[in-house]
Structure 1
Amino acid sequence: MGEVVKDEYQTDYVAGQDNIAKFGFDIHNIVFPFTALLIVVFVVATLIFPAGAKELLESTKDGAIAIFDWGFLLSANLFVLLCLALIFMPVGKIRIGGENAKPEFSMLSWFAMLFAAGMGTGLMFWSVAEPVAYFTDWYGTPLGVAPNTQEGANLAMGATMYHWGLHPWAIYAIVGLSLSFFAFNKGLPLTIRSAFFPLLGDRVWGWPGNLIDIVSVLATIFGLATSLGFGAQQAASGISYLFGIEGGLNVQVGVIAGVTAVATLSVIRGIHGGVRVLSNVNLIMAGLLLLFVMFAGPTLAIFNWLWDTASSYATNMVALSNPFGRDEDTTWFHGWTVFYWAWWISWSPFVGMFIARVSKGRTVREFVTAVLIIPTVITLFWMSTFGGTALDQVQNDVGVLASEGITEVSLAMFQALENIPLSAITSLIGITLVLTFFVTSSDSGSLVIDSITSGGKTDAPKGQRIFWAITEGTIAGVLLFVGGKEALNALQAGALSVGLPFTIVLLVMSYSLFKGLHHERRLLIAEGKMT
């Protein structure tokens, strides 16, 4: 007879137990109204005092980055180590949803959705702008390396890869795995609070859980609205650059309206008919663009950059991850690395929960490998192709990036594509990718916010999802139209400021996850289902 182990995670609580169902909505009676109230207060205050809100929130963000830089870096390092450990630990054989669970999506669709939700849009812009910025000392250089040198070029690519490789995906993986395990293996509601059940027990359904979910919704909607607002400015700049149309406020608001409309239609169609289809289209277009640039651009240089980027990433990872004794590049690593870590952490409730929603049926080992390793490898090819092409142009004095450097981040990729055949077509594909990546982010974000504000239900009324999709676009459009860039900067600073307290939340969540997985393995061994 095996050891008798009690399942300590049984609870009488069910998703939607504390809900109010009225006017076609099915909402949690605490999380939804408090979240809505805080959103309205924040947006109104930002519109009335955009400069003051920006100054207050940016000082909060800058203070957190300056004082707790070590906390962000060490925590991110820990998340990477924990994820790598999960791949090799015996708990890696545990299947999300139980031993008989089957994947809801094909491997390709699953990967396309998690990649599109995670960082697709950012890669479109920063894969060119970031390495060129480091190489030319646009805003500091990593590890104090001399700019405009071959060593500077190698470290520029390695540092860019560092910001978009293992560390951000480890953050997403910890959140996604925690939520999917407790939701699909333990039958808890699909909401952030459920990941803390091993530590809080049934108290998680009270005020501690409400607070966690409210902060998660605020971080998600402010992060999405900020990205949509700045993304509209970037897309408008690209449209202006390509077609000579004035990329002013009207065009930017029009982009937001268009993205919101398509995202709303996608939300209506649901995950299978909406996000999945768009994500697959994104992956195909991005793959074709990658292959074209790889073979129509400086092919030999790109393949050389593949090796140089990978080796620079590997050899400099420890130095870039060390928060101590960084006097030679304090400005750089505060303005870039710590900023990125705060941003990824503030986005982790949204991206992690969406990944959890679509990952049922995968083993823990499959999950972590797909979320951590595969995106890092794909990003290596993407960065080496686009960043390597841009650096090759700068080093050989070709094009605008070589003569003027980074003038506007949103134009960097188009300026690089200008020196490759069929630039008009590739740039048009680039703009289309930016817009469709924004649609998938908005769509998946609406599904996540809807799940949290409905108490963890995954089948809330369709009108509720439509409400959140329109709300995201409205916040971005109103802030941009009335408050301008100052209001968006304030919103971004607010989202980043959530990064510090959420770092602590993620550390506690990691402990809760490992405790839950270990307990699940003991249960399976006792039942004779695992050795």
Structure 2
Amino acid sequence: MRQLLQNAHDRLGLRTNPTRFFGAAFIAIAFSVVTIVFTSRVNSTFSVASEWILTNLGWFYISGVTIFLLFLIVIALGRFGRVRLSPNDEGPDHSTLSWFAMLFAAGIGTILLFWAVAEPTYHFAQPPREAMGVAPESIQAAREAMAFTLYHFGLHTWTIFALPALAFAYFIYRRNLPPRVSSLFQPLLGNRIHGPIGALIDILAIVGTMLGIATSIGLGTLQINSGLERLFGVPNTVGMQIVIISVVSVIASVSAALGIERGIKRLSNFNIITAVLLLVFVLFTGPTLLLLKGTVESVGTYAAMLPELMLWNDTFDNTGWQNYWTAFYWAWTITWSPFVGIFIASISRGRTIRQFVFGVLGLPTLFSVIWYGIFGMATFDRELNGPGGLVEEVVGQGDIPGALFIFLEGFPLATFTSAVAIALVGVFFITSMDSAALVMDMMAKGYEEEGPVVQRVFFGLGVGLITIALIVTTADDGLRALQEVITVIGLPFFALGYFLMYSLWRGLKEDAGELEPLPARRWRRTLPPEEYVRRRGDGVDGDWHEEVGYYDDPDCTEPTRYTSPNGADPLGEVPAGGVTAGIQGASLPDGDASTAKGRDASQPRAD
């Protein structure tokens, strides 16, 4: 079999690992075919599996991301934070602005637009903690809606990307291992990462990544189709969605063929600039002062609720809300993590671990706070002070993909801004696909240098094929069905996250070495003057007088004789009257009044 794969590999002119490439390709194609042919059975299987996972392991998803976040903070603040993710004399490859634009566009650019209006609206109309007394469409519901939205798209989302990204950067650029998921487990598996176990890990990672990206592209397709329907009357059908996926897949494959500098970087920079312009437009054509005040206040609400939300599992009310929101988000995001992780690592070479962690967690979170703050507060202003309508269409009619376009209808130049939003979704869509194609090709071949273009094109088209399969399968209930698929796929990725933390920590300890105890002077034990005199006078047995006494220096071996202010020697001969007479005869002063070679007797004595 190995020779057969090698022969096929050579005939196609590939430069990759045949087992990993063909293994991932076979599973991806088989999944697509089976999904399309046995639609109802596949739907039923994923539905049952997802329901069981969410009912019994939702807490595992929620607590896991918080544990990952705390681990990253400990790593960054500790001594390992100074480790540079490259040879020690090499600085960053990209400016901070370009770095931010690329990691953001490849991370949550697509869902940034999908949920900007939809999630605040949904939580405003149906508060997650309604059972705890939060009334729907109230001021408190609006505050908590912002906190939950920022929880889903703030620190925790970027934690899921940052953990594998940090591990990739460390093992690729410090240990010079292949850019594969199996390399992250080298401290645990050793050379077995190059054998069957490593190949299995990489194949599953590639396939899982394709499914995660396909889910995001499926959501993006629903949004593009909804926008085209509202603007131009384009039918919102499965056939049109397949056309959209096909067109974008071709464009993404071309961008991937051009590489990072000529394709992905330029598209990412264009996208982030356009997104900022749309944000500024909403800010200055809407109730500007309210949006600014509300965004700042949302940060406070998020910060206040975050400690509780980090481990909140809806235990007592058991409404099931988290099953289809938080748990789904974490499962969905973690299936992206191998692809986003390698991509972020590749653009973060040269930064220290501390810079990396706080940059990847901080910069995108700051932008998310501003983005969702502006769009969220504008949404609440429309519902509380304006004509409303968002709650009815987004929640009542379930038009979540169309939420952004309904929102923009309340602003000037609605047609133009909606067209810009559609273009933004499409370009984010493209940057996600081309980045994924580039990374999956890297994972399959095991090195960073560019290989044959056909390999990158294959992975780009492969993601498109899986997306089409998911769209066809979930046509009746697109969003809910996509959630069920990704919840199941995300479970093994979460389990691997714990092994990943241990592997990274172990690797850092092995390479940085253990710190020796801080050297310090050795101090001898010191007795109070009266106790020292008493022991001498009473003739206490033992060698205590060699280990204790009055000492000026930590290394001295002989007791220093102290003198009282009147010149008497308390350590002289003990009078016949015993220790009491000795103390009286020596006229021992209080400890603070004694001096030793000019030093205050209250100074530390030798240990």
Q: Structure 2 length normalisation: TM-score?
A: 0.79
State the partner residue of 2:296. Answer: 307
Partner of 1:230: 219
Measure, in 1, the Cα distance between the counterparts of 2:449 and 2:133. 49
Aligned pairs (5 A) from 1:325-364: 326-328=315-317, 330-364=319-353
Kept after mapping to 2: 8 A contact 1:297/1:420? yes
Q: Report deviation, 1:52.
A: 1.2
Q: Note closer, same or farther for the CA distance 1:354–1:485 as it changes in structure 2 (3 Å cut).
A: farther
Query: CA deviation digits over 1:3-61, x for unaligned, max 9?
Result: xxxxxxxxxxxxxx999544221221322222222222222211121111011012212
Asked whether the equivalents of residues 242 and 424 of structure 1 are also in contact (C-alpha less than 8 Å), the reply is yes
Letter in 2 for 1:277: R
Larger displacement relative to structure 2 (457-466 or 68-77): 457-466
Please report how far the alpha carbon of residue 470 of structure 1 lies from its aligned counterpart in structure 2 after TM superposition. 1.6
Shifted more, 444-453 versus 28-37: the winner is 28-37
1:73 shift after superposition:
1.3
Deviation at 1:232, TM superposition (A): 1.5
Cα pair distance change 1:485/1:441, threshold 3 Å: farther
* Of 416, 440, 449, the match for 2:407: 416
Counterpart among 434, 448, 456 of residue 443 in structure 1: 434
Match of 1:120 among 109, 120, 123: 109
Displacement of 1:329: 5.1
Per the alignment, residue 277 of structure 1 pairs with 266
Shift of 1:474: 2.7
Equivalent-residue separation in structure 1 for 2:329 and 2:472 (angstroms)? 27
Structure 2: distance between partners of 1:524 and 1:428: 58
Q: Secondary structure at the match of 2:513?
A: helix
Q: Which stretch of structure 1 is more off in the superposition, 90-99 or 475-484?
A: 475-484
Q: Distance in 2 between matches of 1:484 and 1:221?
A: 20
- How many residues align structurally? 509
Q: CA deviation at 1:279?
A: 0.2
What's the counterpart of residue 467 of structure 1? 458
Q: Is the 8 A contact 2:121 2:391 kept in 1?
A: no
Change (3 A) 1:461 1:524: farther
Question: Using a 3 Å threshold, how does the CA distance of structure 1 residues 74 and 200 change in structure 2: closer, same or farther?
Answer: same
Give the structure-1-normalised TM-score.
0.90
Aligned residue for 1:147, secondary structure, equals coil
Query: Is the 8 Å Cα contact of residues 314 and 322 (structure 2) preserved in structure 1?
Result: no
1:523 CA displacement = 9.3
Contact 2:150 2:369 in 1 (8 A): yes
Q: CA-atom RMSD, angstroms?
A: 2.4
| Cα distance in 1 for residues equivalent to 2:273 and 2:251 | 19
Match of 2:491 among 500, 503, 510: 500
Once the two structures are superposed, what CA deviation does each residue of 1:43-89 show, in whole Å capped at 9, x if it has no partner?
22111211110110122122112111221111111111122223322
Matched, 1:452 2:446: no
Paired letter, 1:246:
P
Structure 1 or 2: more helix by fraction: 1
State the distance in 2 between where 1:90 and 1:19 align.
Answer: 49
Quick one: which amino acid aligns to residue 376 of structure 2? Answer: G
1:294 aligns with 2:248: no
Q: In structure 1, what residue type is equivalent to 2:513?
A: R
SS at match of 1:27: coil
Partner Cα distance (2:283, 2:405) in 1: 15
Q: Does 1:49 align with 2:38?
A: yes
Name the counterpart of 2:551. none
Q: 2:451 aligns to what SS in structure 1?
A: coil
Shift in alpha-carbon separation, 1:189–1:21, aligned structure 2, 3 A: farther
Q: Which moved more, 1:221-230 or 1:51-60?
A: 221-230
Report the alpha carbon displacement of residue 157 of structure 1 after superposing the two structures with TM: 0.5
Q: Match for 1:181: what amino acid?
A: Y
Q: Tell me, in whole angstroms, the C-alpha distance in 1 between the residues paired with 2:337 and 2:440.
A: 13
Shift of 1:488: 8.5
Structure 2, gaps ≥5 residues long = 1-5, 517-607
Residues 481 and 463 of structure 1, relative CA distance in 2, 3 Å threshold? same
Contact 2:36-2:472 at 8 Å conserved across structures: no
Match of 2:25 among 36, 41, 45: 36
**Is the 2:440–2:459 contact (alpha carbons within 8 Å) kept by the matching residues of 1?**
yes
Per the TM alignment, residue 210 of structure 1 is displaced from its structure 2 partner at its CA by 1.6
158 and 520 in structure 1: CA distance in 2 versus 1, 3 angstrom threshold: same
- Mark the CA change 1:21 to 1:309 in structure 2 (over 3 Å): closer, same or farther: farther
1:98 aligned residue: 87
Pair 451,141 (structure 1): closer, same or farther in 2 beyond 3 Å: farther
Q: Secondary structure at the match of 2:402?
A: helix
Q: Cα deviation per residue 1:198-217 (whole Å; 9 max; x = unaligned)?
A: 11111222222122111111
- The yes-or-no answer on 1:136 pairing with 2:136 is no
Residue 497 of structure 2 aligns with an amino acid whose one-letter code is L
Moved more, 471-480 or 236-245: 471-480
CA deviations on 1:394-445 (whole Å, 9 max, x unpaired) are: 1124242155453301111111111122222221111111000000000001
In terms of mean alpha carbon deviation, does 308-317 or 136-145 score higher? 136-145
Moved more, 175-184 or 345-354: 345-354
Deviates more, 1:97-106 or 1:45-54: 97-106
SS at match of 1:419: coil
Residue aligning to 1:388: 377
What's the counterpart of residue 139 of structure 2? 150
State how 1:251-266 maps to structure 2 within 5 Å.
251-266=240-255
* Residues 79-94 of structure 1: pairs in structure 2 closer than 5 A: 79-94=68-83
Shifted more, 87-96 versus 487-496: the winner is 487-496
Decide which structure has the larger Cα Rg and report it. Answer: 2
Q: Distance in 2 between matches of 1:255 and 1:240?
A: 13
- 1:243-280 Cα shifts (integer Å, max 9, x gaps): 22323334322211221121112112111001100000
Higher alpha-carbon deviation: 435-444 or 143-152: 143-152
| Equivalent residues of 1:253, 1:477 under 8 A apart | yes
State the shift of 1:386 in Å.
0.6
Q: Is the 8 A contact 2:171 2:177 kept in 1?
A: yes
Which moved further from structure 2: 88-97 or 241-250?
241-250
1:514-525 residue pairs with structure 2 within 5 A? 514-522=505-513
Say which is worse superposed, 248-257 or 361-370, in terms of deviation: 248-257
Task: Identify the residue that residue 5 of structure 1 maps to in structure 2.
Answer: none
- Percent identity for Structure 1 against Structure 2: 37
> What is the rounded CA distance, in whole Å, between the counterparts of 1:486 and 1:27 in structure 2?
38
CA-to-partner distance for each residue in 1:485-518, whole Å, 9 max, x for gaps?
5689666534331222211101111111122223
CA 1:170–1:143 in structure 2 vs 1: closer, same or farther (change >3 Å)? farther
Shift of 1:478: 5.0
Task: Please tell me the residue identity of whatever aligns with 1:443.
Answer: D
